[in-house]
Amino acid sequence: MEFMLEQAVEVLRRTPRVLSAMLGGLSDPWVLNNYGDRTFSPFDVVGHLIHGEKTDWIPRLRIILTHRESVPFQPFDRFAMYESSRGKSIDELLSEFAELRRERLDELSSMGLTAEQLDWTGMHPALGKVTIQQLLATWVVHDLNHVHQVAKSMAYQYRDAVGPMRAYIGVLPKDS
């Protein structure tokens, strides 16, 4: 599928509602548990997405539009949410994420990006040159990856409860 900004926004606009439907009002065992060492819980995922709204996608787009490759992106702290989410509820995080995403998509819309601009490049600190199109496509896929991660984390909580039917449940690990 070829990248189309309008189609990208379709997914980006839905992510807060999807996560709210999946997580809003749930009890802590669903929200705070992960699926193993070095994995994010659903709570962590929402905090991580909030941090991305504040420091990654649109801020990096602004850098490209203003400076192109002459100013590299700041490295992204994938774990900043552990501190910034402390003391908040999942519903507070979901609300904050929805508001930030709405603001970022409004800003994206107001930029009026042209097809030519989608090919402009910026400098990623680890990957080198990236285009605006690649940045925006990654934003979409990043969202989808984390929606999957939330579902995987939630499914993992019943990994033993499903018994032998685990063999048919692709989201669960087959071992143990």
For residue 1, being part of any structural domain is answered with no
pLDDT at 78: 83
By percentage, how much of the chain surpasses pLDDT 90? 81
Query: Is residue 168 over pLDDT 80?
Result: yes
Question: Does residue 172 sit within a domain?
Answer: no
Contact at 8 Å (CB) between 97 and 19?
yes
Residues in the chain: 176
Q: 176: pLDDT confidence band, cut at 50, 70 and 90?
A: low
CA distance 132 to 65: 9
Count of the separate structural domains present in the chain: 1
Residues 65-85: what's their mean pLDDT? 86
Which CATH number belongs to the domain containing residue 30 in this structure? Answer: 1.20.120.450
12 found inside a domain = no
For the chain, give the mean pLDDT: 93
Quick: pLDDT tens for 4-46: 999 999 999 999 999 999 999 999 999 999 998 899 999 999 9
Nearest Cα to 55, choosing from 40, 73, 68, 30? Answer: 73
How much is the average pLDDT of 94-119? Answer: 97
5 lies in some domain: no
Asked if residue 170 is part of any domain, the answer here is no
Higher pLDDT, 175 or 43: 43
- Cβ(121)–Cβ(131) under 8 Å? yes
* Lowest mean pLDDT, pick from 27-31, 84-88, 92-96, 112-116: 84-88
pLDDT over 70, % of the chain: 99
Residue 169, in any domain of the structure:
no
* Rounded-to-integer distance, Cα 52 and Cα 59, Å: 9
Residue 171 included in any domain: no
pLDDT single digits (tens) 116-160: 999 999 999 999 999 999 999 999 999 999 999 999 999 999 999
3-class state of residue 131 by DSSP: strand
Does residue 173 have a pLDDT over 90? no
Kindly state whether residue 8 falls inside one of the protein's structural domains. no
Task: Give me the domain span that covers residue 92.
Answer: 18-159
**Pair 84, 51: CB distance under 8 Å:** yes
